Amino acid sequence: MPDTSKETARAGWKQWAGLAVLALPAMLVMIDMSVLHLAMPRLSADLDPSAPRLLWITDIYGFLIAGALIPMGALGDRIGRRRVLLVGAATFGAASVLAAYAPTAETLIAARALLGLAGAALGPSTLSLISVMFHDPRQRTTAITVWMASFMAGGAVGPLVGGVMLEYFWWGSVFLAAVPVMVLLVVLGPILLPEYRDPRPARLDLPSAAMSLTAALAVVYGIKEMAKDGFASVPAVAVVLGLVAGVLFVRRQRRLAHPVLDLSLFANRAFTVSLGTLTITVIFMLGTQFLMAQYMQMVLGLSPLTAGLWGLPLVIAGTVAIFVASALAGKIHRASIIGTGLVVAAAGFAVLTQADASAGLPVVVTGSVLLFAGLMPVSGLGIDMIVGAAPPPQAGAAAAAGETTQELGGALRIALLGSLVNAVYHGRMTETAFGHPPAAAETLPAALAVARSLPGPAGDELVAFARDAFADGLRLTSAIAVPVLLGLAGVVVFLLRKVERT
């Protein structure tokens, strides 16, 4: 009889249709991270939140996603990944309605917290289900590529969707875009998606889940606060508390017979190297996206919508590159593909070293396109290697570890790249005594606000100097990134060269 094992291992139409269902929530989780910033002026006018409440409205979503990812991934491994996914989708839809019609700031904070917990349930469940649905390594790589492209597309589409919704509707409408998608997921999920759980599940260790939540929440909170306001005692204590909770979490996992996160995964070189590379990649990719948005709007003077449209070529280039890399992954060793991607990204940063206040769009867009074309394949293949390195019963926890790494990288993007740009900006602004208020030397938005209160020539002079100072910071950051990425490319190729091709 002919060997049909390969045919039976390959996914059919049902799995690919299920992938389409899984890709949508990945996109929406990213959209929900970005649309709130556009709605903030109208939201503030309507709900009149205090400054602390406004910060919690903005940050609670990302904090809870970062903190709950590993517990949610482990929970899916134990009680069923599809079950956790569907409960998360239903909760996400209900919380979106609550956020859209929130009558008070407190209600909106609670709704955003629910959205964060639901988002943490969606991410690991989608990735770990992909590992169950696609047994063939090449098909799994393609499927994770589609998932990753959807995830990144959400970040680019979010400002455009939000801008259109706010053009015609009230601020709460930005949350309602998620509702029909979540309804679709709840309806089609039981039909198209398989259920999977550990055949011999252990009870979820609640102290471990609490330690993981505390570690991620405290570290991400502390890093974000220090990135925004500089060193302060409360954020510093939060980081220390988070690190202590992380150490206690690791020690407890070593003693448990059924840990929430199996630390033996870190003995797998593909898992560990991919996790570290993914962290650095996310820092540079999301950090540059953040800086480019500021540069386009405050240095080049583009409107938010125009800046958002110019952000599309980045994502398009990255999406094309990630599918090309996926197609090549079965023919070329992944170490070579990842190394090449890092070199291309370094070339993008080399282009950005030429950006100045008068360079205009060509330099910025060209450099950013190269950057995303290099780093998105690195991220996609990295996630694939992280999930593929784990045995099926632990795929949810492994996926959660990868996504937690991305959240940590997202927090560090401002703490590292943003702080470096601001340090250069502050140094340049304080070198020359304009006689302007000290606030102008703090940040570029502050300088632009001060300039609006000055008479014509003085205001124009301050704007020009402040924009040059910000561009100097961007150029120096880009110059530092070039050798870092080239060095990382060499390390990754060396460490992964003997990892078995898949």
Locus of tokens 């045919």:
7
pLDDT for 1 equals 38
Q: What is the spatial distance between Cα 420 and Cα 414, in angstroms, rounded to a whole number?
A: 9
For 459, the token pair is 């205001």
Question: Mean pLDDT lowest for which of 92-101, 140-149, 157-166, 330-339?
Answer: 157-166
pLDDT for 347 equals 94
Q: Which helix (H) or strand (E) holds 115?
A: helix 105-133
- Are 122 and 85 in contact, with CB atoms under 8 Å apart? yes
- The pLDDT > 90 percentage for the chain reads 4
pLDDT for 3 equals 40
| Higher per-residue confidence, 456 vs 334 | 334
pLDDT for 421 equals 78
Locus of tokens 């840990």:
259
Q: At what angle do helices 81-100 and 178-192 cross, to 10 degrees?
A: 160
The average pLDDT across 190-195 equals: 83
Residues whose CB is less than 8 angstroms from the CB of residue 50 and which lie 6 or more positions away in sequence, other chains included: 105
| Higher per-residue confidence, 200 vs 171 | 171
Residue of 156, 35, 21 lying closest to 96 (CA atoms): 35
367 has a pLDDT exceeding 70? yes
CA-CA distances (angstroms) from residue 67 to 214, 259, 301? 7, 17, 37
- Are 54 and 45 in contact, with CB atoms under 8 Å apart? no
Locus of tokens 């583009």:
302
The conformation of residue 481, written as its DSSP 8-state character, comes to H
Locus of tokens 């019609």:
101
Locus of tokens 């259920």:
195
For 148, the token pair is 């990753």
Q: What is the spatial distance between Cα 197 and Cα 84, in angstroms, rounded to a whole number?
A: 11
- The alpha carbon of residue 388 and the mean position of all alpha carbons in its chain are separated, in whole angstroms, by 20
pLDDT in tens, 4-44: 444 446 767 777 888 888 887 777 777 766 666 667 667 77
Residues whose CB is less than 8 angstroms from the CB of residue 361 and which lie 6 or more positions away in sequence, other chains included: 296, 300, 310
Q: At what angle do helices 13-47 and 51-79 cross, to 10 degrees?
A: 160
Give the global pTM. 0.74
Residue of 357, 253, 333 lying closest to 498 (CA atoms): 333
3-state DSSP call for residue 66? helix
pLDDT for 7 equals 44
- DSSP letter string, 140-165: HHHHHHHHHHHHHHHHHHHHHHHHHH
259 has a pLDDT exceeding 90? no
CA-CA distances (angstroms) from residue 99 to 111, 175, 212, 297? 5, 7, 27, 28
The average pLDDT across 246-262 equals: 80
Residue of 474, 486, 494, 491 lying closest to 346 (CA atoms): 486
| Higher per-residue confidence, 115 vs 422 | 115
- pLDDT tier at 483, thresholds 50, 70, 90: very high
pLDDT for 344 equals 93
Q: Which amino acid is at 235?
A: P
Which segment, 166-175, 367-376, 427-436, is predicted with the most confidence on average?
A: 367-376
pLDDT in tens, 393-415: 666 666 667 667 766 666 666 66
The conformation of residue 432, written as its DSSP 8-state character, comes to S
- pLDDT tier at 119, thresholds 50, 70, 90: confident
Locus of tokens 């910071």:
473
pLDDT for 500 equals 59
302 has a pLDDT exceeding 90? no
Q: Which helix (H) or strand (E) holds 465?
A: helix 456-496
Give the mean pLDDT of the chain: 77
- Are 221 and 234 in contact, with CB atoms under 8 Å apart? no
The average pLDDT across 307-331 equals: 80
The average pLDDT across 259-277 equals: 77
- Are 392 and 295 in contact, with CB atoms under 8 Å apart? no
pLDDT for 354 equals 84
pLDDT for 251 equals 86
Locus of tokens 């992380």:
246
Residue of 469, 435, 152 lying closest to 298 (CA atoms): 469
3-state helix/strand/coil string of 368-388: HHHHHHHHHHHHHHHHHHHHH
pLDDT in tens, 193-240: 887 776 666 677 778 778 877 887 787 777 767 766 666 777 788 888
pLDDT for 97 equals 92
Any alpha helices (H) in 414-455, and if so which ranges? Answer: 419-431, 444-452
pLDDT in tens, 73-98: 777 777 788 888 889 889 998 998 99
pLDDT for 392 equals 63
pLDDT for 460 equals 74
pLDDT in tens, 439-477: 666 677 777 777 777 776 777 777 778 888 888 888 888
In this structure, the number of other CB atoms found within 10 A of the CB of residue 305 comes to: 15
- pLDDT tier at 343, thresholds 50, 70, 90: very high
